[in-house]
Amino acid sequence: MKHGDDTADGPDEGCPICLNDMNAADTLHPIQCPSAPTCNFNFCINCLTSLLASSKDDYEMASDGNCHVKIHLNCPNCRADISGPIEDTIRLRRKAIAEEMQDMPDSELSAKELQCKYWKENDDIILEEEGKPKQKGVKPLEIDPTLFGGLEFAMTVQEQKYVTQLMTSGYPDQLCQAAQILSGVADLVRNGNSPSVQNANNNNNAPNNAAANTARATSALQAANSNTTMRNGYSNAGLPNTSRDGERETVVSNFQRQMENKAREKLRRPLPARMPLCVTLGTGEFEKMALKTRQQAELVEPEANEPPKSWLRGLLGRGAERMRGGATMTFVDDEWDGSVADAFARARIGTSAAHGNQQIVQARVGPKNPMEQISVKKILALGEQEDREEGLLTRSQRVLVGSVRGQAGKSGIMKGDVVTHVNAEVFTGDAANLNARLVNAYEEQGQDGVVMIVVNAEACTAEALRLRSRVR
């Protein structure tokens, strides 16, 4: 192949450097070599980003003691300087690739492909595994299993790295992406389509064996707690004991040590009280909300033939009305004070007679464990020592979940969660707007539609997770 005569005839043409196929974005946005049209050399985005990343490395020392840059941004064919157009070319290709991948489901994409799909113009043009320059200060953990909600067994190493990167980025939109990815992994696990689960099923039914081992370890742990003492606040279960016959035996396996380590880690690096969660609900869940809205608007008559109250309902009064079932969710308006500390507290919501028995935020409850309180203060202190982008943490209005039942509650949404995204779009309205939006989804789609809701992908939670990742 003659490099000087290379022209991008189509996406199937190979890269002259790595010999892999060129994609459509490489062809659509070729390198703008200053020597064109004499030089029409072009190569793929992977080689292009590798060249740019290598040029940003530190200096190296030659045998004569002189220091020089490792790589210069020159055209591999004509040696012309391409430092000017290279970043713009990569940016155009990233944008084209992201647009092309929007219709692809996340469950079918690898970790690197997910980065390409959700790339935005203000993101770095060099992805994490392509040689992204090291950040200053304490390097965040590459993989933090505490962020995966117990799904790490169904995720590849690259997926765990990418989700950890999103969770600890400090930006709410990336928290939303991480929540959507974890939701997709959970769906695959429920359907038995996770690669890890499939491999385990082909390996002598390993998940059942693991469950049996866990059950045995738990029963042993319970027996150990009744026969062992506590030393310095930790049990001596798992330490070798001497039986009546003089033989040394271990009370439990490493299961208890793992549980104790997780408990210590939870106290040392506590998670925010509200973690990001993505839930997909059928629009049929909002039928009662739509009926209640019609009744309030006097579009339909209330139920005329109400069944007589039973003695239990008469005894319980208004509390029994809630037993009959109501709206899937109710919402409460709230104001965020702009602090990161809010991420470690949950809102206590109740009704107030002074507000016409409407739901309001009555108080905010933080961690009760003294050790956890100290750890939270250390995390917040890290933020006070840094100079973050102005305007990232500002006082703003938000909507909390006032009550939840039905499939929404079974899916993990809790009272006090903050609704941040609806159908992958940032929600910025009030409680009435959110209720109307969900009711409209039911009115337009009936019971066959779906609505995706993301909770807790907010600025304070994003910043809290970013600071927590720097605790060692």
Gyration radius of the chain's alpha carbons: 28
* 321: nearest Cα among 340, 337, 341, 307: 307
What are the angstrom distances between the C-alpha of 465 and each of 175, 271, 441? 10, 7, 33
pLDDT tens, residue by residue, 262-313? 788 888 899 999 999 999 999 888 888 888 887 777 655 555 444 554 544 4
pLDDT tens, residue by residue, 375-421? 999 999 988 877 554 445 678 899 999 999 888 999 999 999 999 99
Claim: this prediction has a pTM higher than 0.75: no
Rounded to whole angstroms, the Cα distance separating 149 from 186 reads 10
Given a cut of 50, the residues of the chain with pLDDT beneath it are 1-11, 129, 131-137, 197-214, 216-217, 221, 224-239, 249, 251, 304-306, 309, 311-326, 389-391
Residues 6+ apart with CB under 8 A from 67: 59, 60, 61
- CB 16, CB 31: distance < 8 Å: no
Extended beta strands in 13-103, E state: 60-61, 67-68
- SS3 label, residue 32: coil
- What pLDDT, on a 0 to 100 scale, did the predictor assign at position 176? 93
Residues 6+ apart with CB under 8 A from 317: none
- What pLDDT, on a 0 to 100 scale, did the predictor assign at position 276? 95
Rounded to whole angstroms, the Cα distance separating 267 from 316 reads 40
Amino acid at 152: E
- What pLDDT, on a 0 to 100 scale, did the predictor assign at position 312? 46
- What pLDDT, on a 0 to 100 scale, did the predictor assign at position 66? 57
Residues 6+ apart with CB under 8 A from 66: none
- CB 403, CB 415: distance < 8 Å: yes
- What pLDDT, on a 0 to 100 scale, did the predictor assign at position 334? 93
Q: At what angle do helices 287-296 and 431-445 cross, to 10 degrees?
A: 110
